[in-house]
Structure 1
Amino acid sequence: MSGRTRSPNEKLGAMLAVAGISNAGLARRVNDLGRQRGLTLRYDKTSVARWVTKGMVPQGAVPHLIAAAIGGKLGRPVPLHEIGLGDADPAPELGLAFPRDVEAAIRSATDLWRVDLGERGSAGGGRYWQSLAGAFSVAAYATPVSRWLITPADGAVARTLQDPSTRRVGHADAQKLREAAEDARHWDSKYGGGDWRAGLVPECLRNEAAPLLTGSYSDEVGRALFQATSELSRLAGYMAFDVGQHEAAQRYYIQALRLARAAADVPLGGYVLASMSLQATYRGFSEEGIDLAQAAIERNRAVATARTMGFFHLMEARAHARAGDEALCGQSLAKAETFLERSRPGDEDPHWIDFFNVDRFAADAAECYRDLKLPGQVRRFTQQALAKPQEGFIRTHSLRLVVAAVAELESGDLDAACAMGEQAMDVVERVSSARSREYVKDFLLRLEPHRAEPQVAALAARARALVS
């Protein structure tokens, strides 16, 4: 574990001082980040002292975990050279670029899919992405978003190669990828991003999409191909987000946005931005979440359908709620509802927005009011969200049930909260989703003042077993 030695690493010591992290604190953060990636690490303050004073260089992914730990504290990416570990494997930088040139964009996406997927762990939550150890940084979205806003569509994407061995790509190839994305999207909605079949999406990107992108195709076929691969990359990012692998999700989202630009699909680019917005908001960057949602809204005025615009405003509302701004949240919710009411069956909605309906609006509105600490509103909207069966959206149903349990608890009805909590546990047990379990953890914390009550003790024991 110690690796090779050299002179004292003064850069690392200086960065620890700037970040205000002790040796023991860094060791703990590195161990925690490793555990999230399926790695068993047992570093302590002595290990860190060796890295700093004796220049010992840890092996494998550990240098990237060190950078991630420091970057997480500073709130920005920390390159390896800044901490004196610049000779480590640069793989974690993959996927963060948003190239201006289409050929470079193809290389950026396919390099991410191939290298990232080279180290798959066993089936289950998040190990598909454990080789990417960089820290999530909302600042990494700045350049991609600004370039997309300036130029949301590439001019021409035809790719004509003279090599006779080069694969000629047709509409059927692009359609096959689109169908794969649709199947995976519905599977993810049912069982969560950590289900073993979620691995089919990154495998499809590596084994099917990458060879097609490097083939030969007309401009029309190329647009369809970039559209399908953008959808797949966004979905891979959403699955990574759902299992708590935010750094990998960020890379997939950035590449999905770049591919949407090559597809000249502005609404799809907006959908990727909305996904980025939800992630940023969830990670505690509500102001940036607002900016990302508004970027999607501004570029799609008079372009996207009413249903699509409604969803973008809903993500804006989620970010305003996390920021604690009840007035702006209410305005965004009103716009989302108005756009949704304007939508008609004959509208040419993109297929990926089919999930957004009145029930989904109510569920997200409930979460907004939960964040704003208005339990009466939460109860009203959760009742609406839970009024119909959610057979195809098991993960979403689990989230709604936990939010409903929180609303009952915050309203002072402990018995109803526990009853709803038991229902929630039944559903959360059926999905592989770190997000669902985070909601359960939040509910557990809220139950703590009532831990002496018998019904609470039983429910809490079940919840702890589920999230441990």
Structure 2
Amino acid sequence: MGSSLGATIRRLREERGWSQARLARETCRAAGVHGEPIGRQEISRYENGRRTPREWLPFIADALTVPVEALRTSSAPPEPPPPTLADYLPEGAPLAPLSAAQGRRVGSAAVADLQQRVHGLRLADDVIAGGDLLRPALRELRSAVKLFREGSHTEAIGRSLLQAIGELAQIAGWIASDAGQHGGAERIYRLGLSAAHTAGDATLAGNLLGSLAYQRTNTGDVREGLAMARAGLENAPEAPPRARALSFDRVAWAHTKAGEAQPAMRALNEADEALARLGDEEEPAYLYWVDAGELRVMEARVYTELRRPLRAVPLLRDVLSRYDATHTRELALYLSWLAVALADANEPEEAAITAERVISLSSDITSERTAERARVVLARLAAFQDVPEVRALLDSAT
């Protein structure tokens, strides 16, 4: 009954447009208890069938304003179980150790050095595009895998190496995707999934699967991208706030690309709620860039994609007014969304000025992402080719 019950609770919650945190609060209110003896994570466990509400079931029913029996019995046909992270692991054992007993002894110093190089590569990606970073990123990844497979190390050191390989695979996959090497990026992401999964790092595994989901969504396989994004989210229910916020953002984007506005809005709200829980807890270094500004960028992108420019334009202008100009690729990308939103707002002259900046920035960096966004912007402006500023831009771009 657990999975059917959980699916019914989720369906009724989503029909009301509630987040899991909202249902938890309403359930506590229905029970007449103060504080939150159950919270979002507990609701998530109920919905995924990992735990049965039992004594909380009547109060959940009260909160949802349905009879208890409506939760226990569902007339809807049972849905197939959603995919999990394990469904996306690579075939075989790509990280199986080789002749470890004869290899170089690997200690904590080697792990610290690898972690430092991984973070250096991550910071380099902030200012250097994928086409220029791909070769050094792949060299680092091959070297790290070789160190793990051929070296001799303790179990603890091996786990740290696997985590470093997972982090390295995430940034290397991102770089490969930015360079337009989508097939290679997917193989790299799956290698990282294997490393993170073997190391027992659910947060890292969820981040890797979310990165792969984002690529799938953007390259046209939207339903599979959404399934991956949800699996990445569900894989790490105890992940720290920034990781949860990022996962919800990826779910929101997949729903947006599928044309599902309400689920996208709910996921954006969940991302905000997750980040609001940020305290002084220790978080992985690779989440350093996830902040309120980045959530606003995703919110603006969602509004742009859904053709709601009056919501998108102010958000993008606010973010861009404070953005680091040395991050050329991201600056070009964010400007591209602004150009499209301005076109949708029937401001073709301003859209053309913004688009000109996008094209100028894109011409100097080896990023397929920005090149593709420039093409999208030009295609959108083609509807205004009778406007002199737009006509001049389109002529200069051909």
Q: What range describes the TM-score normalised by the shorter chain of this pair?
A: 0.7 to 0.9
Q: Which of 249, 253, 258 is the equivalent residue of 1:323?
A: 258
Output the amino acid matched with 2:246. F
Residue 180 (1) aligns with residue 117 (2): yes
Which position in structure 2 is the counterpart of 1:373?
Answer: 307
Q: Percent identity?
A: 28
Over 3 Å counting, the alpha-carbon distance change for 1:158 and 1:145 in structure 2 is: closer
2:297 is matched with: 363
CA contact (8 A) 2:98 2:149 kept: no
TM-superposition CA deviations, 1:371-406 (whole Å, max 9, x none): 212122221321232131224532111100010011
- TM-score normalised according to structure 2 size: 0.73
Give the CA RMSD over aligned residues: 2.1
Whichever residue aligns with residue 354 of structure 1, its letter is: Y
Q: 1:193 aligns to what?
A: 130
- 1:336-376, CA deviations, whole angstroms, 9 ceiling, x for partnerless residues? 011112213x1211111111111111111122122212122
- 1:54-453 to structure 2, matched below 5 A, reads 145-146=86-87, 161-163=100-102, 166-195=103-132, 197-301=133-237, 303-344=238-279, 346-391=280-325, 393-453=327-387
Contact 1:402–1:440, Cα closer than 8 Å, also in 2: yes
Give, in whole Å, the separation in 1 of the partners of 2:366 and 2:320.
21
AA aligned opposite 2:254: A
Following TM superposition, by how much is the alpha carbon of 1:309 offset from its aligned partner in structure 2, in angstroms?
0.3
Structure richer in helix, relative to its length: 2
Q: 1:409 & 1:315 partners in 2: Cα distance?
A: 25
* Cα distance in 2, alignment partners of residues 191 and 416 from structure 1: 28
Partner amino acid, structure 2, of 1:203:
R
**Cα 1:208–1:267 shift into 2, 3 Å:** closer
Superposed displacement of residue 256, structure 1:
0.6
| Contact in 2 for aligned 1:227/1:263 (Cα 8 Å) | yes
Secondary structure in structure 2 of the residue aligned to 1:191: coil
- Regions of 4+ moved over 6 Å: 157-160
Could you say what secondary structure the match of 1:401 adopts?
helix
What do residues 150-206 of structure 1 show as CA deviations (whole Å, max 9, x unaligned)? xxxxxxx9998443xx200111112222211111112122122112x4311111222
Q: CA–CA distance in 2 between the matches of 1:426 and 1:391?
A: 14
Q: Name structure 1 gaps, 5 residues minimum.
A: 1-141, 149-156
1:462 and 1:212 map into 2 onto residues whose CA distance is: 51
AA aligned opposite 2:174: Y
1:120: which partner in 2? none
Structure 2, unmatched stretches of 5+, are 1-82, 90-95
**CA separation in 1, counterparts of 2:226 and 2:385?**
37
Q: TM-score, normalised by structure 1?
A: 0.63
Equivalent pairs, count: 310
Work out the CA distance in 2 between the residues paired with 1:188 and 1:161.
Answer: 33
Instruction: Report the CA distance between 1:308 and its aligned residue.
Output: 0.9
Q: Residue 239 of structure 1 aligns to which amino acid in structure 2?
A: I
Give, in angstroms, the shift of residue 146 of structure 1.
Answer: 2.4
- Report the CA distance shift for 1:145/1:438 in structure 2 as closer, same or farther (over 3 A): farther
Aligned partners of 1:281 and 1:289 also within 8 Å: yes
Three-state SS of the structure 2 residue aligned to 1:386 is helix
**Aligned 8 A contact 2:85 2:235 in 1:** no
Deviations 1:25-67 (A, max 9, x none): xxxxxxxxxxxxxxxxxxxxxxxxxxxxxxxxxxxxxxxxxxx
What is the CA-CA distance between 1:274 and the residue it aligns to? 0.7
2:354 and 2:341 map into 1 onto residues whose CA distance is 10
CA distance in structure 2 between the aligned counterparts of 1:226 and 1:298, rounded to whole angstroms: 22
Instruction: Give 1:272 shift.
Output: 0.3
